[in-house]
Amino acid sequence: MARVVVVGAGLGGLAAAARLAAAGHAVTVLEQAPQVGGKLGWFERDGHGFDTGPSLVTLPQVLEDLFAATGAPLSQVLPLQRLDPAVAYRFADGTTTAVPGHREDVPARLDADLGPGSGAQWAALLTRAEAMWRATEQPFLRSPLAGAATLARLARNTADLRTIAPGRTLRGLGAAHLTDPRLRMLLDRYATYSGSDPRRAPAALLTVPYAEQAFGSWYVPGGLRRLPEAVAARAVERGTVVRTGTAVTEVLVTGGRAAGVRLADGEVLPADVVVCNADATSLYSRLLPPQAPVRRARAALRRVTPSSSGFVLLLALRGRTPGLAHHTVLFPTDYDAEFDALFGGRGRRGPKRPVADPTVYVSAPDDPATRPGADSESWFVLVNAPRHEPGTGVDWTSPGLADRHADQVLATMAARGLDVRDRVRWRVVRTPADLERETASPGGSIYGTSSNGARAAFLRPANASPVPGLFLAGGSAHPGGGLPLVTLSAEIVAGLIGPA
Ligand SMILES: Cc1cc2nc3c(=O)[nH]c(=O)nc-3n(C[C@H](O)[C@H](O)[C@H](O)COP(=O)(O)OP(=O)(O)OC[C@H]3O[C@@H](n4cnc5c(N)ncnc54)[C@H](O)[C@@H]3O)c2cc1C
């Protein structure tokens, strides 16, 4: 039995704790915030309740695996609700389509809404996506990152390699297979699921719409924040100690091995194994001693683009919106202008700035747990935003900026047919700076590093650090951000550490 310390109680940290405790280790989770969950936050006031982070669960099988491996099944603890339609889209030309929640229903809907032939083109692309998924799920998503060995695993079958189209971007793939610009836009949006630019993200991100449409879009009744609460409860059930309000200031290395952590009040917790769920940049730049042998890991992090952030409006609304889907996306005319604003243009040398005419995402759960009464709604509105980078990029704490941007987002929604300005009871604005402050995510990056660039996936920090006994589980490490992937990173880490 090893003494394991987990730094951070985000979903990845909690899932690692639950698995390691179930495997017989003595696990302690240390979380700097007053509550568990990390980016899976919750805000409530006057009977209105909002998830402040994720609003969409995909790949539910990954969560099912976690619960099954550690005790009672997910269906008994937290039944998920499948969404149908998955997302309602509105394009700049006024066309709308509500993409069904089951893959087999999607082509007919696209034919009906975007014109005959759209469905067949999309279905053909998803068939390719399915092959990509088969080629990458086990060797990449479910395995530790191991440099050349990972590439070799992926390249074992040249047909698989051709399917993944390593030199191609998501944008390039869409341009080659989809003739309708609206369909291409729909595909481009999946790059933003990892905070990336479709013009630089690899074609392999085609697996994201595949995963969503093949395995469904899901909601957790009562709010997604119930997910980390349930995983924390499972970890505790299996013997884990969870300490909130406890910041780790240093990961201790003795004799070349991870030896424990130092807390903000000076307390030292010795450990045989440290699992870091905090952002990898913080670990490698701040938490480890300067002489730790992590020079290459630090250098790899400098070569990747951090993921973009998000600007969030929580809207407490009077009245209800008839026919509103759970998730709605309102597209702009010029999608590229959005990516230029987020990342500084293709050359990454231009100014980053709040997106003037952003894509707007509205999550409006029809869930009594989120509203004070039947004649109210609680909307989570998200637009992509550049990270908080005072001095070199956007300073989201600049006086007036957040409120001006919030007004602009509401006006944009109104211009695209969703005007709720006279129904707002109150609003809460959450900027990338708030996300950074509350979740200790540098710059408020949502997903750690982005997938921008053909090698980004291989430069992402590995789950086993160069320091023996120190592991990384979470969205800034392999295989990446988003709820299913951070849960997979925990599974990989638990596998690397092994049973007691
Ligand atoms: C607005 C928004 C929308 C999103 N939408 C979706 C979505 O719809 N679907 C989806 O799948 N994903 C979504 N995501 C991404 C998803 O939330 C994350 O990928 C995932 O929750 C990250 O989990 P994690 O394990 O990496 O930990 P995090 O949630 O990043 O938590 C890390 C934890 O470590 C703690 N910590 C950091 N440093 C220290 C320290 N020194 N000492 C102690 N504790 C420390 C932090 O306080 C934090 O609690 C969204 C995120 C945001 C912000």
Average pLDDT over residues 229-258: 98
Kindly state if the Cβ of 55 falls inside 6 Å of ligand 1. yes
Quick one: what percent of the chain has pLDDT higher than 70?
Answer: 97
Average pLDDT over residues 45-50: 98
Average pLDDT over residues 67-87: 98
Q: How far is the CA of 38 from the centre of ligand 1 (A)?
A: 5
Q: What is the pLDDT of residue 253?
A: 98
Could you tell me if 429 and 402 are in contact, meaning their C-beta atoms sit under 8 angstroms apart?
Answer: yes
Average pLDDT over residues 165-171: 88
Kindly state if the Cβ of 182 falls inside 6 Å of ligand 1. no
- More confident: 457 or 442: 442
Could you tell me if 361 and 54 are in contact, meaning their C-beta atoms sit under 8 angstroms apart?
Answer: no
Given pLDDT bands bounded at 50, 70 and 90, which one contains residue 142? very high
Given pLDDT bands bounded at 50, 70 and 90, which one contains residue 165? confident
Residue whose CA is at the smallest distance from ligand 1 atom 32: 10
- More confident: 235 or 194: 235
The C-alpha atoms of residue 385 and residue 393 are separated, in whole angstroms, by 11
Kindly state if the Cβ of 477 falls inside 6 Å of ligand 1. no
Kindly state if the Cβ of 59 falls inside 6 Å of ligand 1. no
Kindly state if the Cβ of 444 falls inside 6 Å of ligand 1. no
Predicted confidence (pLDDT) per residue in 381-423, tens digit: 999 999 999 999 999 999 999 999 999 999 999 999 999 999 9
Q: Which of 321, 5, 340, 87 is CA-nearest to residue 199?
A: 340
Average pLDDT over residues 357-381: 98
Average pLDDT over residues 450-475: 92
Residue whose CA is at the smallest distance from ligand 1 atom 46: 439
Given pLDDT bands bounded at 50, 70 and 90, which one contains residue 258? very high
98-107, 160-169, 219-228, 408-417: segment of lowest average pLDDT: 160-169
Is the pLDDT confidence value at 153 over 80?
A: no
Predicted confidence (pLDDT) per residue in 58-74, tens digit: 999 999 999 999 999 99
Q: Best of 7, 267, 277, 313 to mutate for ligand 1, by most ligand atoms within 8 A of CB?
A: 277
Q: How far is the CA of 448 from the centre of ligand 1 (A)?
A: 9
Residue whose CA is at the smallest distance from ligand 1 atom 12: 482
Look up residue 69 and give its two tokens: 């491996």
Residue whose CA is at the smallest distance from ligand 1 atom 27: 10
Could you tell me if 464 and 494 are in contact, meaning their C-beta atoms sit under 8 angstroms apart?
Answer: no
Which ligand 1 atom is nearest residue 483's CA?
Answer: 11
Q: Best of 39, 363, 428 to mutate for ligand 1, by most ligand atoms within 8 A of CB?
A: 39
Residue whose CA is at the smallest distance from ligand 1 atom 38: 278
Kindly state if the Cβ of 443 falls inside 6 Å of ligand 1. no
Q: What is the pLDDT of residue 155?
A: 66
